[in-house]
Amino acid sequence: MSKRKGGEDWLEVLEVGPSTRRRLEELGVTSLEHLLEFTVDELVDAGIEPSTAERLLAKARELVGRKPRAVKASELLKAQYKVVKTGVAEFDEKTPWGGLREAFIYEFAGEFGAGKSMLAHQLSAKSIIEGFGDVVYIDTEGAFNAGLVERMAKRFGGDPSQVLDRVSVYVPDNVSALEAFVKYELPKHLKEGARTIVVDTITALYRAEFVGRESLAERQQRLHYLIDWFRRHARVFNALVVFTNQVMDVPEAFLSGLKRPAGGNVLAHAVNARFMMARPSKQKDEGYMWPLDVPGMAPDVKIQYRLADDGVY
């Protein structure tokens, strides 16, 4: 078991006995915040006594300053969320947050060539240049392009090499590797200054690995579990999570060409705001986006964008 610097401090303050300590280490817990992301059941599954698990979580909540308490609605109204501007002018103008806000999960779905990956790169560069935080980019399609981030950094006035040093890219081999990364590695990055997590694309590995109707239930279950971990990261670390997603034909409206995001209800319920992207003519560099179920946005809002060498405008 690797012992990172400071890795033992959080175990010291929890004042746990040697066997609980060993179980937490075996489980792969890396910080108090990470511990807080686990449920009692998950800790019990790892061999910890139920009463100890309850006590550990209560203590961790106290130490991290997350004691259960309700806030006044008036406080919520005044609450200031950290926001990253996307650099897509109409998106920053027309969305209720003026960009993308912390502790939210956003989804951008669209057909091939719509510009999803380009937007994902741009949000990475902007997160760093605006001082929001470092980025972990999970690239399930092998589409990450460091040169593109470099051009975007220049466009937005950042130091390209510094920006590239603060984007960590992970290419998962399969669903199981992706799950392990999200559950055990991401919390280390988040603890050490990462604040934005990008997944391009969230459903691809699941669609490839669980093929056919008979695998549908298992696929959805596994996807649900993964996304729940992103929700935990958004909540505990105030992380900004951005998924891109593929679209699929709506069978009952096949001729109309109507598409819906892949991932079904599992994904629809889990994200805080979802947008569709379309670029009707691949000969043109223009596209548009519209909100699908975005709180505070009328469904008929149209956000126009344009693709260029140095990103999305």
Ligand X SMILES: Nc1ncnc2c1ncn2[C@@H]1O[C@H](COP(=O)(O)OP(=O)(O)OP(=O)(O)O)[C@@H](O)[C@H]1O
- 285 interacts with, out of Mg ion, ligand X, none, CB within 5 to 8 A per kind: ligand X
Please answer whether residues 305 and 118 qualify as being in contact, where contact means their C-beta atoms are separated by less than 8 angstroms. no
Tell me: does residue 113 bind ligand X (CB under 6 A). Answer: yes
**What is the DSSP secondary-structure string of 31-98?**
SHHHHHTS-HHHHHHTT--HHHHHHHHHHHHHHHT-------HHHHHHPPPPEE--S-HHHHHHSTTS
- Our CB check for ligand X shows the closer of 99 and 110 to be 110
- Our CB check for ligand X shows the closer of 179 and 285 to be 285
Query: Could you tell me the two tokens for 16?
Result: 């746990």
Amino acid sitting at position 284? K
Give dist(CA 260, CA 274) in Å, integer.
11
Tell me: does residue 114 bind ligand X (CB under 6 A). Answer: yes
Name the one residue in this structure whose structure tokens are 């511990």. 35
- Could you say which residues in the range 275-304 bind ligand X, by CB under 6 A? 285
Which range in 5-13, 116-124, 127-135, 150-158 contacts ligand X by CB under 6 A? 116-124
Query: Could you tell me the two tokens for 219?
Result: 């696929």
User: Shortest approach of ligand X to residue 8 CB, angstroms?
Assistant: 42
Please answer whether residues 304 and 285 qualify as being in contact, where contact means their C-beta atoms are separated by less than 8 angstroms. no
Tell me: does residue 112 bind ligand X (CB under 6 A). Answer: yes
User: Shortest approach of Mg ion to residue 108 CB, angstroms?
Assistant: 10
User: Shortest approach of ligand X to residue 115 CB, angstroms?
Assistant: 4
Tell me: does residue 307 bind ligand X (CB under 6 A). Answer: yes
Residue span 143-182 as binding mask against ligand X, x where in contact by CB under 6 A, dash where not: x---------------------------------------
For Cα atoms 311, 312, 313, give the angle at the middle one, nearest 5 degrees: 120
Residue span 86-125 as binding mask against Mg ion, x where in contact by CB under 5 A, dash where not: ------------------------------xx--------
Name the one residue in this structure whose structure tokens are 């604040």. 195
Footprint on this chain of ligand X (rule: CB under 6 A):
110, 112-118, 143, 285, 307-309
